[in-house]
Amino acid sequence: MAGSGTAHMRSGEDVILAVNDIVVEFKVGGGQIVKAVSKISFDVCRGETLAIVGESGCGKTTLGKAVLQLPPPNSGEVIFEGVDLTKLSKEKLRSARTSMQMVFQDPISSLDPRMTVRQLIEEPLWIWDRGTNEERTTTINKLLNDVGLDPELVLDRRAYEFSGGQCQRISIARSLALEPHMLICDEPVSALDVSIQAQILNLLQDMKDRYGLTMIFISHNLAVVKAVSDRIMVMYLGKICEVGTPDVIYSKPAHHYTAALIDSVPIPDPTREVSRAILQGEPPSPVDPPSGCRFRTRCPAATDICASDEPQLREVTPGQFVACHHPRS
Amino acid sequence: MSLLSIKDLSISFDTPRGMLEAVRHADLEVPAGTSVGIVGESGSGKTVMSRAAMGLLQGSNVHRSGTVVFDGHDLTAMTRVGVREYFGTGMAMIFQDPMTALNPVRRIGSQISEGLRVRLGMDKRKAMARSEELLTLVHIPDPGTTLHKFPYQLSGGMRQRVMIAIAIACEPKLLFADEPTTALDVTVQAQILQLLGDLRRDLGMSMVLVTHDLGVVAGNTDIVAVMYAGEIVEQAPTKSLFANMRMPYTEALLKSIPKMDMPSGKRLQVIEGRLPDPTDRPVGCGFAARCMYVQPKCHAEHPPLIHDGDGHLYRCWFPLGKK
């Protein structure tokens, strides 16, 4: 439901990233405005993995990119390691970005097809003039070993010679080259087979431990994020529905949308009764979102108040925040 | 009698690197009224097999042996034009990527009515009216307006519904669905799978569902065939397959699916390594190099397809759950 509010925000020194009331809108033809992200606030603590979950078009990728100022949000603050990125000059922003990196959804098209693996991974080091030639070679070899590729075999090959899973490993190595503090992974496994998907998810966990990373993990599949996340934020049409730890979210989803997402995941067990409450229809257009709670048009529990008042995030159980007038109990 | 019967089908392609064996000695029966799932990783040959079954693979670099009998007619003995007789009314296919499978410069209505006019000889007005009914059948809101839209104006889920409408337009006896939900969100995936199940029951169709996700076949098929490196390595009625897995590969595939009831922060089980090179298949079992239970015999001899009684087939020297 898309609600606003800041009840779920934490304070303390551990907060590495705090996003306050961020708004991202795009102008499209005919004077219309796509309201991709509408006044969202969230924070991430050092060493934590925050998962952002929602359907296509809910604004989760836009939100992830807005954190990196790609493009900068229309309003709101993005405070990363104590600095508000939205107020930095171009040059300062460029150097601030080295400590946050992104892993993209499509592993093959996000790598330059004309560059060798050595060039791909060396590029960030070269741009920032890190180390001598020998030091760079050592770094590249170490990164490749860390992501499970043999430097001898891959260094002089190009992206098209690799499978999707291997390309995603190269992307991860490249994103780690500058030793970032935070990694934003945008659907890093959606394009991969289940067997490869598990390999990449485990690899991301390993890298997080080894490099002491903080991670934002964007996905549409709640089953995938369960394995990797410490905190989950469910989004719908540019607003937050629910925030909480995975254990609470999966066992007792308070938001009707979260419950529908959980029910949609196919269960590999034929004896289980096929579900359940499948969410019908598609999200409304973000050009003209519904009044009040944005989920009300598809919500089984919607009443009049949902159309008139926008729900605010509030704590229903310790550590679980929901923006809904009629939360599930 | 089976609606579709594939016997000893092998498909290979001439490639610059040598002969690529995509499908090897596959047997598959699709009894009338059932839904059969074909499961495997990318490159396991599942798409090639379903395309070959429809007679869509032809060309000078394709080598094919074995037979495909559909509804009593041997498709492998027919010419390209002969096979086409069965498209639409006999069998139809839903392709994986709804973004590229539709013609971008033709309106939805004209794409759906094409089959109706060519196959069923309807006139334009009648075909358009029927197209509108079909859009209603696949739950597209406001079908009258959608008929006049272009594919780019629709979302991925809506385009997949249009693909389904095109496929079922001439009421085929057999529907091939090649990864129909892979490109879609989980919520839309659930909707599309439900729709396919409903249509199958209402229209009495058989279905071949090709996917890499064991979760998708679990609730939507009667029989499952698991493919690996071009071969069917395990096949059984769906419930029996999940209850008594024989192939270590099927088990590994199942275990690698992230599940919502597992504790967070736990490592997922993975299948290490990759599929063997299709131009240079190993002598023994194709899965031996990645198998947890591998024995010397697995590398030396190729396991035959073993019949376990009650329709359970597997291709393993040391099956799970047996001594």
Partner-chain contact B188 A282, CB within 8 Å: yes
pLDDT reading at A2 higher than 70: no
Could you give all domains of chain B from N- to C-terminal order, each with its CATH number? Answer: 2-90+170-314 (3.40.50.300)
Partner-chain contact A226 B254, CB within 8 Å: no
Q: Could you tell me if A279 lies within 8 Å of chain B, comparing CB atoms?
A: yes
Tokens standing for A174?
A: 């490249």
Give the pLDDT confidence score for residue B265 in this predicted structure. 67
> pLDDT tens, A208-265?
999 999 999 999 888 888 888 999 999 999 999 999 999 899 989 999 999 999 888 8
Question: From A162, which residue of chain B is nearest by alpha-carbon distance?
Answer: B274
Could you give all domains of chain A from N- to C-terminal order, each with its CATH number? Answer: 1-99+182-194+211-329 (3.40.50.300)
What's the rounded Cα separation, in Å, for the pair B279 and B259? 35
Question: From B273, which residue of chain A is nearest by alpha-carbon distance?
Answer: A196
Closest-CA distance, B74 to chain A, in angstroms, reads 34
> pLDDT tens, B275-297?
888 888 888 998 998 898 999 99
Partner-chain contact B218 A281, CB within 8 Å: no
What's the rounded Cα separation, in Å, for the pair B129 and B111? 13
Quickly tell me which residue has 């509010």 as its tokens: A5
Question: From B263, which residue of chain A is nearest by alpha-carbon distance?
Answer: A227
pLDDT reading at A175 higher than 90: yes
What percent of chain A has a predicted confidence (pLDDT) above 70?
97
Grade residue A155 by pLDDT with cuts at 50, 70 and 90.
very high
What's the rounded Cα separation, in Å, for the pair B205 and B305? 29
For the segment B61-73, the average pLDDT, to the nearest whole number, is 90
What's the rounded Cα separation, in Å, for the pair A176 and A174? 5
Grade residue B100 by pLDDT with cuts at 50, 70 and 90.
confident
Question: From B219, which residue of chain A is nearest by alpha-carbon distance?
Answer: A270
For the segment B223-229, the average pLDDT, to the nearest whole number, is 94
> pLDDT tens, A9-62?
777 768 999 999 999 999 988 889 999 999 999 999 999 999 999 988 889 999
Partner-chain contact A195 B252, CB within 8 Å: yes
Question: From B249, which residue of chain A is nearest by alpha-carbon distance?
Answer: A195
Mean pLDDT of chain B: 89
Closest-CA distance, B265 to chain A, in angstroms, reads 5
ipTM of the complex, rounded to two decimals: 0.81
Partner-chain contact A194 B253, CB within 8 Å: yes
In SS3 terms, chain A reads as CCEECCCCCCCCCCEEEEEEEEEEEEEECCCEEEEEEEEEEEEEECCCEEEEECCCCCCHHHHHHHHCCCCCCCEEEEEECCEEHHHCCHHHHHHHHCCEEEECCCCCCCCCCCCEHHHHHHHHHHHCCCCCHHHHHHHHHHHHHHCCCCHHHHCCCEHHHCCHHHHHHHHHHHHHCCCCCEEEEECCCCCCCHHHHHHHHHHHHHHHHHHCCEEEEEECCHHHHHHHCCEEEEEECCEEEEEECHHHHHHCCCCHHHHHHHHHCCCCCCCCCCCCCCCCCCCCCCCCCCCCCCCHHHCCCCCHHHHHCCCECEEEECCEEECCCCCCC
- Of the candidates A264, A232, A267, the one whose C-alpha atom is nearest the C-alpha of residue A248 is A232
Q: Is-cis flag, bond preceding A71, omega within 30?
A: yes
> pLDDT tens, A277-329?
678 777 888 888 999 999 999 998 899 999 999 999 999 998 899 999 999 87
Partner-chain contact A275 B214, CB within 8 Å: no
What's the rounded Cα separation, in Å, for the pair B134 and B88? 14
For the segment B228-236, the average pLDDT, to the nearest whole number, is 93
Cα distances from A31 to residues A26, A238, A262, in angstroms, run 10, 20, 37
Give the pLDDT confidence score for residue A277 in this predicted structure. 63
Question: From B141, which residue of chain A is nearest by alpha-carbon distance?
Answer: A281
Indicate the pTM of the whole model: 0.86
Q: Residue B65 in 3-state DSSP?
A: strand
Kind and range of the H or E run holding B144: helix B143-146
pLDDT reading at B262 higher than 80: no
Closest-CA distance, B87 to chain A, in angstroms, reads 30
Pairing assessment for the beta strands A100-103 and A182-186 based on DSSP bridges: parallel
Residues in A closer than 8 angstroms to B259, CB to CB, are 223, 226, 267-268
Q: Could you tell me if A263 lies within 8 Å of chain B, comparing CB atoms?
A: yes
CB contacts under 8 A, A 42-61 vs B, are: 55-57
Grade residue B131 by pLDDT with cuts at 50, 70 and 90.
very high
Question: From A192, which residue of chain B is nearest by alpha-carbon distance?
Answer: B42
Grade residue B81 by pLDDT with cuts at 50, 70 and 90.
confident
Q: Could you tell me if A271 lies within 8 Å of chain B, comparing CB atoms?
A: yes
Partner-chain contact B186 A220, CB within 8 Å: yes
pLDDT reading at B319 higher than 70: yes
Grade residue B256 by pLDDT with cuts at 50, 70 and 90.
confident
What's the rounded Cα separation, in Å, for the pair A207 and A145? 12
Q: At what angle do helices B186-203 and B156-168 cross, to 10 degrees?
A: 10
Give the pLDDT confidence score for residue A275 in this predicted structure. 56
A-B CB pairs within 8 A amount to 142
Give the pLDDT confidence score for residue B264 in this predicted structure. 67
Q: For residue B87, what is the DSSP state?
A: B
> pLDDT tens, A183-213?
999 988 887 888 888 889 999 999 999 999 9
Give the pLDDT confidence score for residue B181 in this predicted structure. 86
Tokens standing for A226?
A: 């369960």
Cβ A289 vs Cβ A238: under 8 Å: yes
Closest-CA distance, B271 to chain A, in angstroms, reads 6
Closest-CA distance, A280 to chain B, in angstroms, reads 7
Closest-CA distance, A90 to chain B, in angstroms, reads 36
Partner-chain contact B242 A270, CB within 8 Å: yes
